[in-house]
Structure 1
Amino acid sequence: MTPYKAFWQIIRYTPGLYALNAVLQVFRSCIPLLPALIVREVMDRLAVTPGVDSGLWVLLALLVGVVTARVAALLMSVTVDATSTASGTGLLLSNSFSRILGKPGAQGLRRPLGDVVNRLTTDTSGVSDMLMNSLVVLGSASQAAVALVVLFSVDPLITAVVVVPLIAAGFLINFTSTRIKKYHGESRRAAGEVSSFLHEVFNAAQAIQLANAQRRVGERFREVNDTRRRRSMQSRFFTTVFLSSVWTTTTGLGTGIVLLMVAGKFKDGSFTVGDLALFVAYLGWITEFTALFSQNLAAYKQATVSLDRLAEVLPDGGTPADLVAHRPIRPVPDPVLAEPAQGEPLDLLTVRGLTYQHPESGRGIKGVDLTVRRGSFTVVTGTVGGGKTTLLRAVLGLMPKEDGSIRWNGQEITDPADFFVPPRSAYTPQVPHLVSETVRENVLAGLSVPDERLRAATRAAVLDRDLERLDNGLDTLVGTKGTKLSGGQAQRVAAARMFVRNADLLVFDDLSSALDVTTERLLWQRIFEAEDKTCLVVSHRRAALERAGHIIVLKDGTVAAEGTLQDLLRTSPELREIWHAGEGADLDES
């Protein structure tokens, strides 16, 4: 899709708003032409008959009325401008977030997070602002056309001569538009690099301090910031300094031409003082159109760059067409009480021949079979790189499976990512994701539940005693990504987030890796205090292996062995190695 068609799609999303905006812009721009006509008549009257008569008062009253009408039109236009801009920005953001959030959850963004945030904030506004400014140019074009008609009726020759510098300025600006686009693209990329760098620094503040790398990080920041400054200066030179010089010079040149050509016309009366005032006033409006047109031409080039930059962050080769596809923009819903699981409760989960290979490394899982029965505790274990986390993510749809089937009570699941969500399934990843809010907000994550249910969830996660020691209990701020909590506390907050949703299937990826032996055993015990809890767990810890009814050992992405703990200790060298390694870990923690 060409940039022009993409921009037209945004306009067609709310055509009524843009049509009303266009009408208001034309009305708002043409009204200022009337005061110049009134002033022309006033000056000509005063030149012939000095003094103030009733006709002059009528003209002055009319002037006040015109100014009032212009202010009213301006206020209405600004209101519609803001609404139109918000509509276009909302469509771009909605489509961007829809594509980003709709990708498999375990797949990373195509660009660094800081750069993505920069694009979603600055580039979306750049596109919408350009469309709004295009309507301003439309109004200014109408104003300039009417002004030229009026001036041509006063003196065709002077009008024709004055237009020549304007046309030359237009060609000059069009000639430099390619360079404007190039410099703006470089400026936006440099700004994105600064945002990405700052994001990485904030996330690695502790590591930077421990490595005593503050000075080197500061030097690197100065380097990327200097690059951003240089490229921004180049872009602003062409879009601000150069364009401003062009229209300022054009205005001065046009005014000079008028003064030179009318000097001799005053003597024979073919040109009056009022005509001169009209030419000077209208010349400013015509020149303003040249300025606005040149600015918007530069903005169009910049918006084209912005549209391409937004498409670059979309997963799976997104295009500008995906950004401007028409879709309803819904308000953020209020927190609601969790509903019971839809459809049949879990009796049997079967996975057959599940395959997924990571594109970068070629490693993953191949032909894995898995069976999970209601009320069971199934553990997936194995050596590092065996495919344990990949298996869980492929089952849950966080990675797109390449082959195999997933069935819930015998019914094949075609879209696991949409199916395996609360209250059917809840998942805690190996590294829990917490936001910079309170413990309560991290557990509820927008859910509204009774306090008793929230307390039950924190107790099941063995978080109750920790909450008593925190300054504000559930209302304690956890810091950026949970930095104010220990690793074990962060994992248990994530576990409580699972438990509060009363899901049929609980999926844990190495939940207990940061827990001591006593806390881990208590956690598993409390989970199974409630009946019919079904768990699918990745773990190498003894507490989990001892509780497991069924263990699957993965090696190099395939099932090396499976069965009960006692059977596998006799038959599987991989499990024996994991078991004996766990013995040493348990002794260290005891």
Structure 2
Amino acid sequence: MRPYIKQNKILFALTLFTSVIASLGYVFMAVLLQQLLDIAVERDIRQFLQIVVFSIAYFALLGMFLYLQSLLSKKVVCRIIYQIRSDMFRGTMARNMEDFYRKNTADYISVMTNDVKMLEENFLLPLFEVVQYTVIFISSFVLMICFDLIVTIFVTMAIAVMFLVPGLLGRSLEIRQNSFSSKLAAFTVSLKDILSGFEVIKSYSMKEYAAQRFDRENKETARSKYSVDRLLALNEGVSAFLSLMVQIVVFFLSAYFIITGRITVGTLLGMVQVSSNLANPLVMIFTNIPKMKSMQPIIEKLKETANFPAALSRKGVPASCQNCIYANELSFSYDGQKEVLSGVNCTIERGKKYVLVGKSGCGKSTLIKLLSGCYSTYRGEILYDNTELHRTDPDTVAQLSSTIHQNIYMFDESIYDNICLHEDYPGEMIKKATDESGLTEFLSGLPEGLQYQVGENGSNLSGGQKQRIAVARALIRSKPILILDEGTSAIDRQTAYDIENRLLKLQDLTLITVTHHLDEDLLKKYDKILYMENGCIKEEGAFESLISVPSRFAAYFQLKK
């Protein structure tokens, strides 16, 4: 947390200053009460009026500082929370696809919501409370010595016992807070999974199963939360009991000293007030310190997410694809055991059109992801113009290709925003992209045109319309490589044919298509067909050369027909 405190050091210092002044003013009330009671006992009306005037000014000033302390503490907490969330989001966005998908997306959501909220409630807010109550305790202790040394000694002995409580409970509380954080993440993952499958749940009458699963996860999360709260309750209860004992010791000793004539009645009131300023702050301190210590695993988790770029991102030479992308003896495994690709060799020349075909699970999409730089844990070589992919800058690799997937994601914004993605493009480029993607006819039928709102994930659009917007999104960026990864498999054959045929006519575009739709007219237009089986490229060549002789592709093509 130190970097965030340094970033806000002026605001943080002002908050501490107002907190110290407000705390000292709160403690000084004991002296004011002592003087007031002694004056009342002496029946001195002149001094009484003087202390009334002084008290009015004093409380007005104290109220102002209490307001400033509360306002500034909330402001600095809000600013730090904003900065933490911002850093974590940027750290998440800095990951490549390989690193990003090692976690469930709900885990990232949980960290940025649940864990940050826990940090605010169990670290940042308690931090200011500890500072405030520490000032109150120290100043009250000094004042207690001024009132009576013997009472102070007895109070000190009672306080020493209170120091044992946080040490006994701190480690257990840390373990339980970490467990609760994990439960919150699991609950978020489960809830996201259930809501994402809403259509399936409704279609297959799974409401009872969904309710039971939610109740199970909800109950486990509540049980984990109660486990933390139970320990906090023990800590608070013991601290409150010891705090009461301190006040009782002060009260009885002071009463005895009044009887013996050692102190005045006003001093009794002052010491009772000061003793509460000793005991209550200690309760708050010993309640908050275990909370803050228990946040250490959460802080480490937040730090790992926020500091990802510095730790794991790589920089290298700018990638280029002026000539070709070459894969040499390329092998890959997702889990480090079962190979998905084995010894793949292929060349993708700039400006040519390639289609990958083969049975489901043969490694087509995995090969595409590797060639476009999504994964780095491969064996063999991937060369971009004779430069190995590991030596290139990932950001420049991403600028060379656009990928259209089977499941197109649409932001809940306008068609224009989903095409341009909040970048500025001239009108003629937008017109060209919509024409080449076949989107113009659809737009002409919309009163809003490009400003038409697509809804959540394109809920206001058909599958074909979403695919055409995705094509326009890719084409407007004029990247040299376009990857169609089953990009037309979820729409009708006529629309799919039209989209693919339009892309094949673009002369300067390097097109790599993964498809199950084996349309002879389209296959003839590709420069090369790559036929895959069991993670290997078994055959490659033009359609006519492969179909005219007995081949694996010819047998597969006839089977698909």
TM-score range, shorter chain: 0.7 to 0.9
Q: Distance in 1 between matches of 2:211 and 2:449?
A: 37
Say whether 1:494 aligns with 2:470: yes
What residue in structure 2 maps to residue 389 of structure 1? 365
Deviations 1:29-88 (A, max 9, x none): 22212232223222222221342x2x4444334333333333333344344434543454
Q: Return the match for 1:156 from 149, 161, 164.
A: 149
Q: Are 1:442 and 2:418 an aligned pair? A: yes
CA contact 1:382–1:555 (8 Å) conserved in 2: yes
Within the candidate set 128, 140, 144, 2:137 is matched to 144
The one of 249, 260, 264 aligned to 2:252 = 260
Q: Are positions 1:104 and 2:96 aligned together?
A: yes
User: 5 Å matches for 1:223-242?
Assistant: 223-239=216-232, 241-242=233-234
Whole-angstrom distance in 1 between the partners of 2:225 and 2:378? 45
Aligned residue identity for 2:338? G
**d(CA) in 1 for partners of 2:347, 2:102:** 34
How far is 1:508 from its partner?
1.6
Provide the C-alpha distance between the structure 2 equivalents of 1:272 and 1:455, rounded to a whole number of angstroms. 91
Structure 1 residues 524 and 183, CA, compared in 2 at 3 Å: closer, same or farther? Answer: closer
Residue of structure 1 in register with 2:29 after alignment:
35
User: Displacement of 1:445 after TM fit?
Assistant: 2.2
**Partner SS state of residue 512, structure 1:** coil
**Any idea what the Cα deviations from partners look like across 1:506-549, whole Å, max 9, x if unmatched?**
12212121233332332234335554222122224325422211
The equivalent of 1:567 in structure 2 is 545
CA contact (8 A) 1:350 1:406 kept: yes
Sequence identity, in percent?
19
Do 1:351 and 1:369's aligned partners in 2 also have CA atoms closer than 8 Å? yes
1:302 aligns with 2:294: yes
Question: Partner residue of 2:525?
Answer: 547
8 Å CA contact retained: 2:243, 2:283: no
Residue identity opposite 2:158 in structure 1: P
Cα distance, 1:419 vs structure 2: 1.9
Distance 1:400 1:345, change over 3 A: closer
Aligned residue among 56, 70, 80 for 1:64: 56
Query: Is residue 38 of structure 2 the alignment partner of residue 44 of structure 1?
Result: yes
Q: In angstroms, what is the RMSD of aligned CA positions? A: 3.2
Task: Please tell me the residue identity of whatever aligns with 1:146.
Answer: S
1:198-253, Cα deviation, whole Å (9 max, x unpaired): 111110001111221101211221222122222222322332x3344334333433
* Structure 2 partner of 1:182: 175
Note the C-alpha offset of 1:484: 4.5
Following TM superposition, the consecutive aligned residue runs of length 4 or more in structure 1 with deviations greater than 6 angstroms are 323-326, 342-345
8 A Cα contact 1:356 1:403, kept in partner: yes
TM-score, with length taken from structure 2: 0.87
Show the 5 A alignment for 1:355-394. Answer: 355-359=331-335, 362-394=338-370
The alignment status of 1:249 with 2:222, answered yes or no, reads no
- The structure-2 alpha-carbon separation of the partners of 1:208 and 1:506, relative to structure 1 and needing over 3 Å to count, comes to same
Alignment partners' CA distance in 1, 2:340 and 2:328:
15
| Compared CA separation, residues 471 and 184, structure 1 to 2 (3 A) | farther
Mapping 1:390-469, distance limit 5 Å: 390-413=366-389, 414-415=391-392, 417-422=394-399, 424-467=400-443
Greater shift, 478-487 or 442-451, is seen at 478-487
Unaligned runs of 5+ in 1: 1-6, 315-319, 327-341, 584-590
Q: Which residue of 1 aligns with 2:315?
A: none
Residues of 1 paired with 2:464 and 2:516: CA distance?
16
- In the TM superposition, what is the alpha-carbon distance from 1:256 to its structure 2 partner? 2.4
Query: Where do 5+ consecutive residues of structure 2 fail to align?
Result: 312-317
1:558 equivalent among 530, 536, 541: 536
Stretch of structure 1 that moved more, 397-406 or 9-18: 9-18
Maintained 8 Å contact 1:396/1:416: no
Change (3 A) 1:66 1:528: farther
SS at match of 1:548: coil
2:537, 2:149 → 1: CA distance?
A: 89
In the TM superposition, 1:284-323 aligns within 5 A as 284-310=276-302, 322=307
1:42 maps to a residue whose letter is L
TM-score scaled by length of structure 1 = 0.83
